[in-house]
Amino acid sequence: MFNLFPRSKWLREEQDFSARMSALGPARIFVTGVTGFVGGAVAAALVGTPHFKQMLFLVRAKSAAEGAQRVRQSIARFSLSEMPPHVSESQVVVGDLNDPQAFLDARLDQVSHVIHGAAITSLANRQDIWAVNVDATLRLAQRFSGVSSLQRFVYVGAAMACGVARGPLVTEALRLPVERAHLAPYTASKACAENQLRERFPDLPLVAVRPSMVIGHSWLGCKPSARNFWVLKVISELNRFVCPPSAYLDIVPVDYCARIIVELTLKKSLSFSAYHVSAGQQSSTMVVELLQAFQGLGGKGKVQAYMRVAEADLMNMALSLGERHVAQQKAGEASHYEPFNARLLCKALRLYGRFSRLNYVFDQQRVLGEGLQPAPSFLDYINLCDHSIRNLSLKSQMACGF
């Protein structure tokens, strides 16, 4: 029969991934952070595989029933289906990562694989970052260090935990730098946690996966979350920023990130204990390419050339953007305008600017060496991201990350 709907690239990848997962032996996977962006995508990637019904999820909730509902809602973000997958109450471990009592559940003694994705990912200077990202992580490792069935403990870190002054191509050196070498408490906490895991639990079957900048979904755009995308959108609208146009941005979609994490979790043997999940040299995007892509999406004609500015100019840029949006609303050109906090926008631009000036590309040769797929280019799905947030105000988008 003639196929009117030939398989798209993403559908082929999904089906191939499911087939590889089905070919693996049984696994009892415990996931933290399932209601978050990456953690939810990890759970969604395992839907339809033999492992899903055996999975356990740590969820903050008043009851197992409420926890199961939260897991279903999180997974539903990553699907076009109107029917979320069944998640039973028996799969929910009710508790907070900060609560040591949550790890006393006897079901954890039967776990074969841990994917620890829970963390405070805010780039703001929150007081609880260290308690959650470091102290709670070490308590979790302590809990599983005595579990005889454990085959792998996957710690979801961050590629930017490498710190500053690392050179244009960053490799997966095991020892990450100390706090003073970081631009944000978040990356400092991720570096400290990974180092402490290796030092305090040398017998733990630890594998650290370090995603680069995770933005959007390769076929859902920003439907699951507009996190980070709005910053790029603002930069494109202003057509000014602090980094040179030749700077690279190492961006991966969340579904690719999740699939790589799952494959590194369940693969029978691995050559290393730390891996970047990144676009690498093959798929990273230059700022100038990004701006050209945005201009093409907007159907703009000739636009003013990109201008590199000083960090001190960012506040005036944020204020001018607010004034522009007000003018567009009055002219009927912006139907989804909400006043936003210009100081918060300036703070975000300042921080992202400092990261972008590092001009990092994260080497992905270890992932490729394991026979896993390279990441798609952000330019391949930027149109989906842009289309999916057209009905969201900038204020709503900013709420995803701040």
Total Cβ atoms within 10 A of residue 331: 8
- Structural domain that includes position 25: 9-218+249-285+359-378
Q: What percent of the chain has pLDDT over 70?
A: 90
How many domains does the structure of the chain reveal?
1
User: Quick check: is 255 in a domain?
Assistant: yes
281-295 pLDDT, tens digit per residue, is: 999 999 999 999 999
Tokens 């032996």 correspond to 25
Instruction: Map the chain to HEC letters.
Output: CCCCCCCCHHHHHHHHHHHHHHHCCCCCEEEECCCCHHHHHHHHHHCCCCCHHHCEEEECCCCHHHHHHHHHHHHHCCCCCCCCCCCCHHHEEECCCCCHHHHHCHHHHHCCEEEECCCCCCCCCCCCHHHHHHHHHHHHHHHHCCCCCCCEEEEECCHHHHCCCCCCEECCCCCCCCHHHCCCHHHHHHHHHHHHHHHHCCCCCEEEEEECEECCECCCECCCCCCCHHHHHHHHHHCEECCCCCCEECEECHHHHHHHHHHHHHCCCCCCCEEEECCHHHHCEEHHHHHHHHHHHCCCCCCCCCEECCHHHHHHHHHHHHHHHHHHHHCCCCCCCCCCCHHHHHHHHHHHHHHHHCCCEECCHHHHHCCCCCCCCHHHCHHHHHHHCCCCCHHHHHCCCC
* Distance between CA atoms of residues 368 and 181, nearest Å: 29
69 pLDDT tier (thresholds 50, 70, 90): very high
User: Quick check: is 297 in a domain?
Assistant: no
9 pLDDT tier (thresholds 50, 70, 90): low
- For the cut 90, the answer to whether the pLDDT of residue 387 exceeds it is yes
Residues in CB range of 328: below 8 A, 6 or more apart = 334, 337
Total Cβ atoms within 10 A of residue 315: 16
pLDDT at residue 364, rounded to an integer: 96
User: Quick check: is 296 in a domain?
Assistant: no
pTM: 0.92
How far are the Cα atoms of 56, 197, 199, 242, 248 from residue 188, in angstroms, in the given order? 29, 14, 17, 23, 22
CATH of residue 141: 3.40.50.720
pLDDT at residue 189, rounded to an integer: 95
338 pLDDT tier (thresholds 50, 70, 90): confident
Pick the residue with more confidence: 326 or 31? 31
* Distance between CA atoms of residues 97 and 401, nearest Å: 20
pLDDT at residue 2, rounded to an integer: 36
User: Quick check: is 340 in a domain?
Assistant: no
